């Protein structure tokens, strides 16, 4: 195979031929069974490549938090290390060393106390990190409960949390005490937490950058509440902070804001490297404030391929590539670089929010703490945000519309995640297209509902 052409053996003796002239392009692609025979590499590539053109353009997926672009040097590192299994630490000791360096960097980024014996691990994403963090808190509760009789563990979090919180409660048999969303309150607060905790609460979940609106929950206020509860009742209830979205933003844009290990009851934090950590999917991180927050019984020591290694993950094998890509970003950007990127994202988010709010057609749900713009229709219309989203697909934009949960279920919002690649020019084009589509839908609905005017009596048409 040479330059998209195949040799004689692939073309029935007719000489060199372009890929698209092969018989494989006259036949259906196998979809549900492995084909009896294979095909030339270039043909297989071209068939899959062309089918992927039916997917949307990832750069215009405005609802996704995940990174869609990295520098060529980072991609080169990724390609060079695709075949390395991270679990093979005896074979790849430097990869293990770099992993530990990142854990140290993130613990300090989240203001672990000086001298703290913090620990952590890379995960497949924040969903796995949350499962592992909460599992550790359940075991800590179980040890404290030993000798005091049976008790049903519970966990307190908001309906605005990611579905992985509900999964944890079901998979690991913990009672979920979910704080419902209200029409005038889209996040949890200290008052709503206070009425749901008790001596069997394994943890309170606080989200920095919620799934539905991108808002940040008042971790400091919840911490103050739990400190008082510990002093008054002796219930030492930890906070797990889901900083999947905010963990690589706020430390650079608002370093004075206390939501991390500076707070006494914050014992574990997860963050997504593949979100604003600027690494391709999938990579998450889980950091514990102190080794005592991770019960030793949960850590397995495995003698694998020549070395005994500790492991605390839900999976075993995983690639090393994105861990190394994370290290590349931390070295490449430094604090100043991350601050510049996030400041740009916030500026473009603020610009888009201002244009939407100033249009008179939309209401922006709060000033964005993160580069996330959530908005809804300001007035009742004859069409829905879902129709607006569908019409925008014709221009290539993937702008999600969805209903909020619980008591705010009649509120439909739309959300734009302003990533590194979302430029001011894209913000201007998006706003222009939103307004164009809005006006088209509004005009179409008005014309549809206007009564039909009958021709005058005696007037004939041909």
Two structure tokens written together for 176: 């979920």
pLDDT at 462: 39
| Mean pLDDT for the chain overall | 91
The neighbour count for residue 278, using CB atoms within 10 Å, is 26
Average pLDDT over residues 396-414: 96
pLDDT-derived band of residue 459, with 50, 70 and 90 as boundaries?
very low
pLDDT-derived band of residue 447, with 50, 70 and 90 as boundaries?
confident
pLDDT at 454: 47
What percent of the chain is predicted at pLDDT more than 70?
93
Nearest CA among 239, 259, 263, 240 for reference residue 249: 259
The pLDDT of residue 151 is above 50: yes
Two structure tokens written together for 202: 């394994």
Q: What totals of helices (H) and strands (E) does the chain contain, helices first? A: 11, 15
Cβ atoms of 378 and 362 closer than 8 Å: yes
Give me the helices (H) in 304-423, please: 321-358, 385-392
The pLDDT of residue 338 is above 60: yes
399 CB-near residues (< 8 Å, 6+ apart): 62, 63, 388, 389, 392, 414, 415, 416, 430, 434
Cβ atoms of 179 and 158 closer than 8 Å: yes
**Domains, the chain, with CATH or none:** 5-48 (no CATH), 73-329 (3.40.640.10), 336-445 (3.90.1150.160)
pLDDT-derived band of residue 15, with 50, 70 and 90 as boundaries?
low
pLDDT tens per residue across span 345-398: 999 999 999 999 999 999 999 877 899 999 999 999 999 999 999 999 999 999
The pLDDT of residue 61 is above 80: yes
pLDDT tens per residue across span 77-136: 999 999 998 888 888 889 999 999 999 999 999 999 999 999 999 999 999 999 999 999
The pLDDT of residue 407 is above 50: yes
Distance CA 387, CA 261 (A): 44
pLDDT-derived band of residue 298, with 50, 70 and 90 as boundaries?
very high
């Amino acid at each position: 195979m040479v330059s998209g052409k195949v040799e004689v053996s692939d073309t029935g003796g007719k000489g060199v031929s372009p890929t698209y002239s092969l018989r494989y392009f006259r036949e259906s692609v196998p979809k549900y069974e492995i084909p009896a025979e294979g095909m030339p590499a270039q043909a297989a590539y071209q068939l899959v490549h062309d089918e992927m053109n039916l997917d949307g353009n990832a750069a215009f997926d405005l609802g996704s938090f995940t990174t869609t672009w990295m520098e060529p040097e980072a991609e080169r590192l990724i390609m060079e290390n695709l075949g390395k299994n991270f679990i093979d630490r005896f074979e790849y000791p430097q990869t293990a060393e770099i992993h530990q360096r990142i854990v140290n960097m993130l613990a300090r980024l989240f203001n672990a106390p000086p001298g703290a014996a913090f620990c952590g691990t890379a995960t497949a994403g924040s969903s796995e990190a949350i499962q592992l963090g909460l599992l550790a808190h359940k075991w800590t509760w179980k040890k404290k409960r030993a000798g005091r009789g049976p008790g049903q563990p519970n966990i307190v979090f908001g309906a605005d949390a990611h579905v992985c919180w509900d999964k944890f409660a079901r998979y690991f048999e913990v009672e979920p005490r979910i704080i419902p969303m209200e029409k005038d309150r889209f996040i949890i607060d200290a008052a709503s937490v206070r009425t749901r905790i008790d001596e069997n609460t394994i943890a309170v979940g606080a989200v920095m950058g919620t799934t539905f609106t991108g808002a940040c929950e008042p971790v400091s206020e919840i911490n103050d509440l739990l400190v008082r509860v510990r002093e008054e009742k002796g219930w030492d209830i930890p906070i797990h902070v889901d900083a999947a979205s905010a963990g690589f933003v706020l430390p650079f844009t608002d370093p004075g804001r206390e939501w991390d290990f500076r707070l006494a009851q914050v014992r574990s934090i997860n963050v997504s490297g593949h979100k604003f950590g600027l690494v391709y999917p999938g990579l998450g991180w889980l950091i514990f404030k102190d080794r005592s927050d991770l019960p030793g019984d949960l850590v397995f020591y495995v003698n694998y391929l020549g070395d005994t290694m500790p492991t605390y993950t839900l999976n075993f094998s995983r690639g090393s590539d994105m861990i190394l890509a994370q290290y590349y970003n931390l070295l490449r950007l430094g604090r100043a670089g991350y601050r510049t990127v996030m400041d740009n994202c916030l500026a473009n988010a603020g610009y888009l929010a201002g244009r939407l709010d100033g249009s008179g057609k939309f209401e922006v749900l709060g000033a964005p703490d993160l580069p996330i713009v959530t908005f809804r229709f300001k007035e009742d219309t004859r069409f829905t945000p879902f129709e607006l989203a569908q019409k925008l697909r014709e221009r290539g934009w993937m702008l999600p519309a969805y209903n909020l949960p619980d008591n705010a279920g009649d509120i439909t919002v739309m959300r734009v995640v302003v990533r590194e690649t979302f430029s001011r020019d894209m913000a201007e084009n998006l706003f222009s297209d939103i307004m164009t589509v809005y006006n088209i839908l509004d005009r179409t609905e008005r014309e549809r509902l206007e009564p039909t005017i009958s021709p005058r009596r005696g007037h004939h048409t041909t």
